[in-house]
Structure 1
Amino acid sequence: ATECDLPEHRRSPPPIDFSKVDPSKPEELLKMSKKGRTLMVFATVSGDPTEKETEEITGLWQGSLFNANFDIQRFVVGSNRVIFMLRDGSLAWEVKDFLVSQERCIDVTVEGQVFPGKAAKKDDAKYKQQNDVKAKKSKKKSEHKKPDLEGNSASHLKQEL
């Protein structure tokens, strides 16, 4: 039997050329070690979706990835959880980068590492963000009232009095 006929766990891992590995990028090494191996990427969908909604949302994600030439299978494993199975695990990080940028993605798990998605920031910091926006707006208004010529508003006020 040739290597290709063997089940994946029996195949020898792809040879890694360590001279091409950038030690400051451990992900590069992981990518190389996963080349040609099946890898699962887990994703969580925000907003308490039903399984059907999750099916629809993640179907769109899968479609986008498919259009970008990612050979990927999708399995909905809960009302808001989905597994994307990649034939070539070295692409997992690109898939992860795509998924975390999606509006409804809370998090993506690759090889036991959890990466927060766009929706995670919203849920945790929803209240904080609203306040930040208000604070920014009020600051802007006060900045535009009078140009502060000396850079010291206290002495500026004295002159007006």
Structure 2
Amino acid sequence: MKYTSAVVLCLCLVCLSPVLCKRSDSGSKPLWAQKDVRDYSDADIQRLYDQWEEDEEPLDNDELPEHLKTSPPIDLSSADLSNPESLLKVSKKGKTLMSFVTVSGGPTREETERVTALWQSSLQNNHIIAERFIVSDNRAIFMFKDGAQAWDAKDFFVEQQLCEEVMIENKPYYGKFSKHSKQEL
């Protein structure tokens, strides 16, 4: 019996709510707001959009797209100023960075997928987080949300037997077992 009275009370509130709601009188609205929505011009829609946007609170820094975020301050005290890579590593901290990794030996796409997946899991075991995308039969992109980790990953990649080349910021780093590294010696 107590459920039926609660249901009746809810139904009464639902039925009376449109009657009790205050509706603004049409004289207080601007002329463009009194039109039917289907009759709005582009200017009316723009005004409505501007009105909508002014009510919105600004987004927090971590919710903004990367190009609008304020960069964290660069701490040069931890960088070795004689090493340009160290300066790049510090300057890319907290920014997205991509590196291209080439697998040696003429592998198929499946072999590249398998090798780079193994490298990705090895990096993750070392707390270096990267997304991996295969772009050709012997090439993959590793995308780092924290660009400073790209140079740590590069140090790992160049030690791998099947790594031909790692490219970060358009600078090639050749693998230890690469044919290019033997030519440089």
TM-score normalised by length of structure 2? 0.63
Q: Within the alignment, does 1:11 sit opposite 2:69 as a pair? A: yes
User: What is the number of equivalent residue pairs in this alignment?
Assistant: 125
Q: Please, which runs of 5 or more residues in structure 1 have no aligned partner?
A: 126-161
User: What aligned pairs does 1:43-62 form with structure 2 within 5 A after superposition?
Assistant: 43-62=101-120
1:86 matched to which residue of 2? 144
8 Å Cα contact 1:14/1:33 also seen in 2: no
1:30-77, CA deviations, whole angstroms, 9 ceiling, x for partnerless residues?
111111111111100011111000000111111111111111110000
User: What aligned pairs does 1:8-157 form with structure 2 within 5 A after superposition?
Assistant: 8-121=66-179
What is the CA-CA distance between 1:111 and the residue it aligns to?
0.8
8 Å Cα contact 2:66/2:95 also seen in 1: yes
- Give the greater-gyration-radius structure (CA): 2
CA distance in 2, matches of 1:79, 1:106: 13
What is the CA-CA distance between 1:100 and the residue it aligns to?
0.6
CA distance in 2, matches of 1:39, 1:25: 19
CA distance in 2, matches of 1:13, 1:102: 33
**RMSD of aligned alpha carbons:** 1.7
8 Å Cα contact 1:43/1:107 also seen in 2: yes
TM-score normalised by length of structure 1? 0.72
What is the identity, as a one-letter code, of the residue corresponding to 1:63? S
CA distance in 2, matches of 1:48, 1:62: 20
What is the identity, as a one-letter code, of the residue corresponding to 1:95? A
1:66-119, CA deviations, whole angstroms, 9 ceiling, x for partnerless residues?
111111110000000000111110111110000011000000001111001133
1:93-147, CA deviations, whole angstroms, 9 ceiling, x for partnerless residues?
110000011000000001111001133138966xxxxxxxxxxxxxxxxxxxxxx
Q: Which has the higher contact order (CA 8 A, sep 6+)?
A: 1
Q: Please, which runs of 5 or more residues in structure 2 have no aligned partner?
A: 1-58
Tell me the SS of whatever aligns to 2:70.
coil
CA distance in 1, matches of 2:152, 2:175: 14
- The structure-2 alpha-carbon separation of the partners of 1:5 and 1:34, relative to structure 1 and needing over 3 Å to count, comes to same
What is the identity, as a one-letter code, of the residue corresponding to 1:40? M
CA distance in 1, matches of 2:83, 2:71: 20
Identical residues among aligned pairs (%): 50
1:5-54, CA deviations, whole angstroms, 9 ceiling, x for partnerless residues?
11001112221133444320122221111111111111000111110000
CA distance in 1, matches of 2:154, 2:167: 8
